[in-house]
Amino acid sequence: MSKEKMSHEERAQYWIDLEDNLLIGGAAYSEWCNFIAKDAYTAFVHCADLSTVVMSLACIETYLKTESPDMQSQPLHSVINNECMLCDDEKETLHNLRRYRNKWVHLYNLDDDEILQKEEHFIAETERMACLAVKMLLTVLFSNQFV
């Protein structure tokens, strides 16, 4: 029997707990990042896991490019590689999330039968990746805090 998906309340609490653990001081970012982050939050709390991954990465990319204007024309993988505020493990996690997103967004080898046969696997996988995306979103947004 598979693990049940997190409830809306558990997801909201997960987000709050991450904020409590990651935000020590204050963080400032553009209103555009704030708008996208709110959309990622809404998607996450309402169990739209693929949307959470996509919107979290969109917000991360927007934030990183806003912080480094010389990177605005670069693809996300280059922006991640050149980000000095993130450790190597965080960069690798972002690359894994980016590759996961690409698998869905660019329809690499999409097989409807495989998805139907392994639906529970995909549901669990997307929830796990959504949780990771939210963690990385908040990690990036809070990477340059002030006290």
Is residue 134 in a domain? yes
Is residue 128 in a domain? yes
Is residue 50 in a domain? yes
Question: Of residues 53 and 113, which shows the higher confidence score?
Answer: 53
59 within 8 A of 141, measured Cβ to Cβ: yes
C-alpha atoms less than 13 angstroms from C-alpha of 128 in its C-beta half-sphere: 10
Is residue 27 in a domain? yes
Lowest mean pLDDT among 7-21, 64-78, 80-94, 102-116: 102-116
Residues 6+ apart with CB under 8 A from 72: 65
Nearest one of 61, 59, 96, 54 to 82, comparing CA atoms:
61
38 within 8 A of 56, measured Cβ to Cβ: no
Question: Of residues 112 and 103, which shows the higher confidence score?
Answer: 103
Is residue 146 in a domain? no
In this predicted structure, what is the pLDDT of residue 146? Answer: 83
- Fill in the DSSP letter of residue 25: S
Three-state DSSP string of 77-104: HHHHHCCCCCCHHHHHHHHHHHHHHHHH
Averaged pLDDT, 91-115: 84
In the predicted model, is pLDDT for residue 2 greater than 60?
no
At residue 37, the 3 state secondary structure works out as: helix
The total number of structural domains in the chain stands at 1
State the average pLDDT for the chain: 91
Measured in Å, how far apart are the chain's first and last C-alpha atoms? 46
Is residue 81 in a domain? yes
Is residue 99 in a domain? yes
Is residue 3 in a domain? no
In the predicted model, is pLDDT for residue 125 greater than 80?
yes
Q: Give the pLDDT band (50/70/90) at residue 105.
A: confident
d(CA 127, CA 104): 14
- Expressed as residue numbers, the domain containing 41 is 8-141
pLDDT digits (tens, 9 = 90+) for 68-94: 889 999 999 999 999 988 999 999 999
In the predicted model, is pLDDT for residue 108 greater than 70?
no
Which tokens hold the place of 112? 């409807």
Residues of the chain above pLDDT 90, percent: 73
In the predicted model, is pLDDT for residue 45 greater than 90?
yes
